[in-house]
Structure 1
Amino acid sequence: MQIPRGKVAYYGQIAEMLEAPGAARTVGWALASLSPAQARVVPWQRVINKAGRCSIRSLEHSAAEQQALLEEEGVVFNEYGYTDLSVYGWEGLDPDEVQFLLHTVPPPPRA
């Protein structure tokens, strides 16, 4: 299961779904540490900050690149770089779906 094209989630939302409230930075670090092969599989660009803005800090990718990728998917940003989470925000998974994924889906390849 992935965040659908044209939708975004925020770091803290992912942490809360994983039953790790307060671990938003850990989610960011995990995304920033994706290998190039993993970054082609994991839709890292769909995770933004809670304010609705791209704020990635990575050697491989910039916030401008992240916003451009999201705009290609149909996410609209205002002139200040914010998107409306009430329109483009992903509702997330229910707890049963999260537990299923945590226990059955292997991690992406590390190459």
Structure 2
Amino acid sequence: MGDFSNKVFDTVRHIPRGKVASYGQVGQLIGAPRSARYVGYALRANPEPGADPACIPRHRVVFKDGSLCKGFVFGGPDEQRSMLAAEGVEFEDDGRVNMKACQWDGRMQDAGADVEPTRPPADFDWKAELGE
């Protein structure tokens, strides 16, 4: 895999159980804003999918509105939801992930408490960056 994909995989490995990140968020965290589509392409080629600690949990990456992947990537349209629900992820009535409750804050769990999260600065304008 290339450097971009390896950065995506490394970041996604840090998303904890019960939390999700958006494709755009992963792109921002690796220093490649506006690359959500390419994050998706990288995850489609994920060499180690799964929920085990040694795997790359691509099922924890969702669309910015909490929507799930509709394609075959997870073995069917309901597989991603099943995997997330098994980890305790909350869903809205319309089937989207409750992003307010479940979006990962970017903190690396294996880092010490004093380590700042790998995320954009506090004044970063997500709506402008994502074209909302």
Give the TM-score of the pair, scaled to structure 2: 0.64
Residues 69 and 55 of structure 1: is their aligned pair in 2 closer, same or farther, counting only changes over 3 Å? same
Q: CA deviation at 1:80?
A: 1.7
Taking the TM superposition and a 5 Å limit, the aligned residue runs for 1:66-105 are 66-93=80-107, 94-95=117-118
Q: 2:39 aligns with which of 10, 13, 27?
A: 27
Partner Cα distance (2:85, 2:74) in 1: 19
Q: CA deviation at 1:62?
A: 3.1
Residues 42 and 9 of structure 1: is their aligned pair in 2 closer, same or farther, counting only changes over 3 Å? same
The structure whose residues are more often helix, as a share, is 1
Q: CA deviation at 1:56?
A: 5.3
- Name the count of aligned residue pairs: 94
Q: CA deviation at 1:72?
A: 0.3
Gaps in structure 2 of 5+ consecutive residues: 1-12, 108-116, 120-132
Taking the TM superposition and a 5 Å limit, the aligned residue runs for 1:7-86 are 7-35=19-47, 38-40=48-50, 41-55=55-69, 57-59=71-73, 61-86=75-100
1:4 aligns with 2:16: yes
Gaps in structure 1 of 5+ consecutive residues: 97-111
Question: Percent identity of the aligned residues?
Answer: 35
- Any conservation in 2 of the 1:48–1:56 contact (CA below 8 Å)? no
1:8-47 deviation digits (Å, cap 9, x = unpaired) = 0000000001110110011101111123xx1131011000
- RCO higher in 1 or 2 (8 Å CA, sep ≥ 6)? 1
Partner Cα distance (1:60, 1:76) in 2: 19
CA RMSD of aligned residues (A): 1.9
SS at match of 1:4: coil
